[in-house]
Structure 1
């Protein structure tokens, strides 16, 4: 059986809605938290698929999170080998850094459900499945487009919402895996961040109720399509 490793940067940001299409594609899923004592010794090259999830830290905060530097180095090698890798939010930022791009604070905190604008290149990519679908955003950082990457989606505040390199490397700033995961309640506990983004816990909970099922269904189609296109 093919193996998939989910790397969690925080316990409340797991594979969520992506689990079903990954398992349907024949992968046995394992996961590791970056706080696990075994994490520094994990072989990033070995899994058939690596799924890099989100988290509240910044890629540039290596002084506060020393595991980041080691993670980026190992991920850079995996990307060099063109091993199938997908990153969500912080995971996308780590991919960008591993590909040599700058990661830095963005102009605003983008929080809540909203659609992304799919580029011409994105129209022929798995991102087509989330066109016109409000998906969850929860970020305040951004990145330059890495060398050799193809831009797939943007929003008004964040030009770089998604990119790919070939068929095997995909980075998503938004969260198309979210919509039905009960761990979303843990996200809502960060009220200062939510307030700074100009929204409220009540509004975000209502958005999740209204858009979550549609968003995660589109996200599952996106993931299934991407897995089907992998160059193995």
Structure 2
């Protein structure tokens, strides 16, 4: 049985649709809560897939959240091992930081459902399986591309939405994993941010319901493609 380890920062920003997908493949899922669990105890040799999830904090906020240094160290060691790694939102930004790239505020928020525009490298990547399906965007920071990594996707609000390191490591700025049936947790948990950004909560709720099935299908297609490449 393969094991996936997720690093979670916020209770409702969890594996979402990824957890039942992995279970259907016969995987075991283990979650560590950053800032609570000691990430230094993770034996990466026993981890088949490491997943670093999102959070409403900055990738360089070590002074406020000292555990981020342990996360960056964990990610650097995982990247050095050339074994499977997936970073989502903050996780993607931490991957970029671990590879020496800058992460900084965009000056605006990108919150809501919208499609990705794939680059040429993106069209040859597992993200091609997303197709025209809108994904959930929810961030105010962005990463620069690490050296040697190509941008896989873009949106009008953010020039770099994803990158890969070889076939084994993938970073998503967006949220493909969100279970739209649980969007209310996000709407409650991020109420202050949504109000400050002037987001229409009712419209966001309706969009989540409209895209629920499509997101699940897109996630299944992307992960199936990626896993076929990593574990042929």
Pair in the same fold by TM > 0.5: yes
2:184 matches 1:188? no
Shift in Å, 1:178 = 1.4
Q: Deviations over 1:205-229 (max 9, x none)?
A: 1111111221222122111211121
Would you say the 8 A contact 1:120–1:152 is kept in 2? yes
Matched residue, 1:99: 99
Shift in Å, 1:231 = 5.7
Shift in Å, 1:19 = 1.9
Q: How does 1:113-132 map to 2 (within 5 A)?
A: 113-132=113-132
CA distance in 1, matches of 2:98, 2:144: 12
Structure 1 residues 24 and 150: CA distance shift in structure 2, 3 A: farther
Matched residue, 1:198: 198
Matched residue, 1:19: 19
Matched residue, 1:207: 207
CA distance in 1, matches of 2:114, 2:36: 34
Shift in Å, 1:37 = 3.6
Structure of higher RCO (CA pairs closer than 8 Å, 6+ residues apart): 1
Structure 1 residues 224 and 197: CA distance shift in structure 2, 3 A: farther
CA distance in 2, matches of 1:100, 1:177: 26
Would you say the 8 A contact 1:109–1:138 is kept in 2? yes
Task: State which drifts further: 197-206 or 105-114.
Answer: 197-206
Matched residue, 1:222: 222
Matched residue, 2:28: 28
Would you say the 8 A contact 1:110–1:197 is kept in 2? no
Would you say the 8 A contact 1:93–1:173 is kept in 2? yes
Gaps of 5+ in 2: none
4+ residue segments displaced more than 4 Å: none
CA distance in 2, matches of 1:11, 1:53: 11
Secondary structure at the aligned position of 1:23 is classed as: helix
CA distance in 2, matches of 1:172, 1:132: 16
Q: Deviations over 1:37-79 (max 9, x none)?
A: 4334223443011011111111111111100011101210110
Matched residue, 1:6: 6
Give RMSD over aligned pairs: 1.6
TM-score computed with the length of structure 1 as normaliser: 0.93
Secondary structure at the aligned position of 1:151 is classed as: coil
CA distance in 1, matches of 2:114, 2:230: 28
Shift in Å, 1:112 = 0.6
Matched residue, 1:88: 88
Matched residue, 1:171: 171
CA distance in 2, matches of 1:69, 1:45: 20
Structure 1 residues 181 and 39: CA distance shift in structure 2, 3 A: farther
Count of residues in correspondence between the two structures: 231
Secondary structure at the aligned position of 2:151 is classed as: strand
